[in-house]
Amino acid sequence: MIVFAIFGYVVFGWLLGFYSVASSWPHLLEHGNPTGIRCVFGGFGALLGFPCGIFWQEFYRRLKINCLAYSTEQVISQLSWLITTWIITNLFSMLCLCLPFPWLFKITLLVLGNFTHGFVWWMRKGKLKNRQSTYWLNEFAPDFAQTIEIIRRILTPARKRLLDVRSITHNQLLMMNQTGFLEGPWIIPQDVIDGLHRLASSENSNLRYRGKRGLVILNLAKQAYPNKWIIDSNLYTKYPNYSERFIAASKFWDATILVSRPLKDVPAISIQEIFQSLRSPYYPGDILDLRIRRSGKYPRQAIGWLEDGTIVIVEKINPKFRQNSRIRITHVLQSVTGTMIFAEQETRETI
């Protein structure tokens, strides 16, 4: 879209230079080839139109960002100040022109009046993001201000979520979608999808397994929630590092990064921390029913998993243990990667 807009400025500059020769400098067409002279002026117009297009596109982008940063009631309140100071300045200018003052004194008063108008607007602009800036709207139209506030709170869109490779390769992504805990669209950069394909074709078996698993989870999530996913095809090639490209994507979409590990100085949600905080706490002495999956590394040791994926190592187990056994927790090992529980078989009751 930006390229077409800049191209429009270039074409407009060429047409302006091509057709302005006959009206502005008609005598130039009498001393040479008229078409060649028109094309030369059109080329100069196109050269001037290109930087003008870039300038106005950047100006429009910044103006759009500044306008979207303020709510409707804040803009209306500030417009009241702008219109009031503008009326006062123009009345003051008319008064200065009508009074029999020297021309230098009139110019000085006009400059001071316009400077005061700009200074008041600049002072009020610094308070745009302050909630007190809605004073005038609440004072003169309280019902309208209340209606705008209700609409703003209801129609505020849910924040977007940006996924990285680690958050996709973990199975928690499907669980988060099923619960509906995180609202809003889910954005996947093309660089992340390419990273999953690179992992799936890696020579390392562990990385290859993670890549294939991530692609399977991504396809299942897309099939279950087809209207919730956005593929960002922008590659952000001017950033050489993957982390820089990922952060640039989050700033472009104004999205919260959904990662498996917390990040610094970046708005992010750690899936691992969410699941760690939602897990039920286990304490030494608690008795649980566990399904034994396989034997452990050492004699009289078995390994099982709880429903939330917590690994349980059962020690001093009876060699004739059943697949479903009752265990008693001896101690709990908590780390950044997760929780590991050590337990012993409860001999008083076996299922």
Cα separation, 345 vs 332, in Å, equals: 15
282-345 matches 161-277 in CATH topology: no
pLDDT digit string (tens) for 76-91?
Answer: 666 777 777 778 777 7
Q: Between residues 147 and 133, which one has the greater pLDDT? A: 147
- What residue type is 289 in one-letter code? D
The answer, yes or no, to whether residue 202 has pLDDT greater than 80, is yes
Q: How far is CA 129 from CA 22, 70, 76, 350, in A?
A: 52, 7, 13, 65
User: For the CA atoms of the chain, what is the radius of gyration?
Assistant: 34
CATH second-level architecture of 161-277? 3-Layer(aba) Sandwich (3.40)
pLDDT for 308: 67
The answer, yes or no, to whether residue 131 has pLDDT greater than 50, is no
CB 296 within 8 A of CB 286: no
Q: What is the mean pLDDT of residues 292-309?
A: 78
The answer, yes or no, to whether residue 266 has pLDDT greater than 70, is no
pLDDT digit string (tens) for 105-118?
Answer: 777 777 777 777 66
pLDDT digit string (tens) for 25-60?
Answer: 777 777 767 778 788 888 888 888 888 888 888 888
pLDDT for 351: 41
CB 160 within 8 A of CB 201: no
> Which of 173, 177, 274 has the alpha carbon at shortest distance from 228?
177
The answer, yes or no, to whether residue 157 has pLDDT greater than 70, is no
The CA angle 168-239-68, to the nearest 5 degrees, is: 80
pLDDT for 50: 84
pLDDT for 220: 82
pLDDT for 350: 41
Q: What pTM was estimated for this model as a whole? A: 0.42
The domain locations on the chain are 2-68, 72-154, 161-277, 282-345
Q: Of all residues in the chain, what percent carry a pLDDT higher than 70?
A: 69
pLDDT for 265: 61
Lowest-pLDDT choice from 163-167, 228-232, 245-249, 258-262 = 258-262
CATH of domain 282-345: 2.40.50.140
Q: Write phi, then psi, for 232 (nearest 5 degrees).
A: -90, 105
